[in-house]
Structure 1
Amino acid sequence: MIPLNSIIVFNATIVRPEFFFISGFSGIPHTKYFYMFLCFVYTLSVLGNTFVMFVIYSDHCLHSPKYISVFSLAVSDVCVSTALVPPLIDTFLFKSQLISYEACLSNMFFVFALLTMQSFTLTIMSYDRCVAICFPLRYNEIVTNKSMLVITAVTWIIAGLANVIAVLFISRLSFCKSIVINSYFCDHGPTFHLACNDNTPSNVIGWTYPLVFHLFQLLFIIGTYISIARALLKIAVASERLKAMKTCSAHLILVSVYYFPLCISFILGSSIPQNIRIMNMSLAMVFPPMLNPIIYSLKTDEFRESVKKLYKRKKIHITVRNK
């Protein structure tokens, strides 16, 4: 490793390293197989979510409030996977565990902003389902394409601004001790803990952001499903009740896939060995983007019908062209 003294840059009272060292999975045996697995997962994530975006864009029947949020989730899935996995593959192939100070802060911003957006999108989707089932006669009045676009745009802005603030506080820290980040990317917590000056603001952010952008939103989702359950109990016809429940099944699976690993990590906290924590968090971040398009393809009738229509249209186009 490059000596710390040779990569320190003094800027007034702030000491900034030229590079950080990402420890990655260096303490985990047979990491090459894990890297190959992550590469496979990333490929499926990009292909699957790109396919979802293509189908939604191509079929005007899916240009509805529900699928605006699905499209937003697919975009954030592709972007967060791209912010995480390619740097890991670069580390594996070229052993380039040094990352510049500026690149580290950029990586931190994009990863956490996009994770925040994933959480926001799942919350928006629960709101959409709640209105659709609890207020079916007023759904088209309350939830419109315009309102959904505005909500989605606002949440993207909030996710971006909140994480700009987090990164700005990191940029005010001095790093005059270790430059080794014990994570597989420029993780917020392991980075600000390296500071040798007061890191209280970053520490506060490290505790409040998960509460505001993950726990509170999870509680909101639970609240919407309590309202949905009450509305379902009022539906007398069993077939109608089952049909309404089926519209929520895909979203419930998405929420479980996204939040369950995060909840495990936060509940167990420091009691988890570092290597296990790193592997668990890496899987928690890359698995949902891979599973989301699969879940929607299998669990949503509208989406499957759109895929069939696009396939038939393409088949007819090829037949006509060959004649």
Structure 2
Amino acid sequence: MDFFNSALGKNISFVRPEYFIISGFNGIPYIHYYYVFLFCVYIVAVLGNTAVMAIIYLDHNLRTPKYVVVFNLAFVDLFGSSALVPKILDIFLFNHQYIPYSDCLAFLFFCFTSLSMQVLNLVALSYDRLIAITFPLHYQVKVTHRFMLSLIACFWVFVIIAVLISVGLLTRLSFCKSVVINSYFCDHGQIYRLACNDYTPSRVIGVLLVVVILWFPLTFILFTYLCIGYALSKVATVQERVKAFKTCTAHLSLVAIYFIPLLITFTFMGKLHPNARIINLSLTSVFPPMLNPIIYVLQTQEIKESVKKELKRKIPKFR
């Protein structure tokens, strides 16, 4: 506690603002069209992820360890989209840019929790593909329902604790200067940089979370695909390699749509206009939840077969 309290400094009185002002999309030309686009993306994300969850729940053949993770990913996408997009539209479309202090921290918690869980779900899916291709005979033993449920539960506990710590550190900051957040939501980095006392603990936890929840998972995923590529190079025929690789296409697509925009944005951050950076980051937040269910329905044979079976059963044939 002394460490946290010392962050306030000796000569600074503690000031907790009544509200923050979210100003991220101000000054961007034709931004109202973007709000319409966000609304359409949100509707597709809600319908798509709800459909994927329903398909997995209704089809007993899909209740495998892999689809435990897919179900959780759909839930996280639905949860994250519902936490982010309606609030963005409320803030900017209806000019409710004054957001109470406690509401802003809650907004931050839900957004960061969902974004972090999206990444960790990709880690779980990459592990599933690694074992399925490199150790196919041991897959049923190594990847079980109990293991996957335990792994997902550990991810949830870790993320919730980590984000709660970062939010808790923000409550130790004093805001005696600006309360304007130049982002499209209550961004952790933008908030602690507004503090007029020492925000080193918040900055350190922010860097640690980026490393642990972004760069470590990306490194692990790249490593698993190096191992998968090596294993496939040992397969006798080209047809067998293609067949095995097809089981990875959905997961690789999810990894690409999540990480590539982030890598591009952070690589060229110094050259991007602030408005372009905000638009790019907001698209990175809302696009994956919309595309994930579409990718899994179109690229996963088991889900396509399940959809066809349900349609044949539900829709009567007209003669």
TM range (shorter): over 0.9
* Structure 1 CA distance for aligned equivalents of residues 276 and 206 of structure 2: 20
The residue aligned with 1:239 is 239
* Structure 1 CA distance for aligned equivalents of residues 81 and 35 of structure 2: 14
Query: Where does 1:305-320 land on structure 2 (aligned, <5 Å)?
Result: 305-315=305-315
The residue aligned with 2:212 is 212
* Structure 2 CA distance for aligned equivalents of residues 216 and 266 of structure 1: 16
Is this contact kept in 1: 2:48–2:290, CA < 8 A?
A: yes
For the aligned residues, what is the CA RMSD? 1.4
Quote the offset at 1:87 in angstroms. 0.9
Quote the offset at 1:210 in angstroms. 1.0
Is this contact kept in 1: 2:15–2:174, CA < 8 A?
A: yes
* Structure 2 CA distance for aligned equivalents of residues 176 and 270 of structure 1: 28
State the secondary structure of the residue aligned to 1:224.
helix
Query: Where does 1:1-323 land on structure 2 (aligned, <5 Å)?
Result: 13-315=13-315
Count residues in correspondence: 307
What amino acid is the match of 2:35?
Answer: Y
In the TM superposition, what whole-angstrom CA distance separates every residue of 1:207-246 from its partner, at most 9, and x where no partner exists? Answer: 2211111111100000000000011011102222111000
In the TM superposition, what whole-angstrom CA distance separates every residue of 1:85-140 from its partner, at most 9, and x where no partner exists? Answer: 10111123421100000000001111111111000000000000000000000000
* Structure 1 CA distance for aligned equivalents of residues 217 and 27 of structure 2: 34
* Structure 2 CA distance for aligned equivalents of residues 13 and 86 of structure 1: 36
State the secondary structure of the residue aligned to 1:99.
strand
Is this contact kept in 1: 2:32–2:93, CA < 8 A?
A: no
State the secondary structure of the residue aligned to 2:21.
strand
* Structure 1 CA distance for aligned equivalents of residues 157 and 265 of structure 2: 27
The residue aligned with 1:5 is none
Quote the offset at 1:13 in angstroms. 4.4
In the TM superposition, what whole-angstrom CA distance separates every residue of 1:229-265 from its partner, at most 9, and x where no partner exists? Answer: 0110111022221110000011001000000111122
What amino acid is the match of 1:247?
Answer: T
* Structure 2 CA distance for aligned equivalents of residues 249 and 138 of structure 1: 22
For structure 2, which runs of at least 5 residues remain unmatched after alignment?
1-11
State the secondary structure of the residue aligned to 1:24.
coil
Quote the offset at 1:165 in angstroms. 0.4
State the secondary structure of the residue aligned to 1:168.
helix
State the secondary structure of the residue aligned to 2:20.
strand
* Structure 2 CA distance for aligned equivalents of residues 282 and 93 of structure 1: 15
* Structure 1 CA distance for aligned equivalents of residues 51 and 288 of structure 2: 16
Give the TM-score normalised by the residue count of structure 1. 0.93
* Structure 1 CA distance for aligned equivalents of residues 238 and 19 of structure 2: 62
Quote the offset at 1:60 in angstroms. 0.5
Quote the offset at 1:24 in angstroms. 2.6
* Structure 1 CA distance for aligned equivalents of residues 85 and 236 of structure 2: 49
* Structure 1 CA distance for aligned equivalents of residues 60 and 42 of structure 2: 29
* Structure 1 CA distance for aligned equivalents of residues 287 and 50 of structure 2: 16
Identity of aligned residues (%): 53
What amino acid is the match of 2:263?
Answer: C
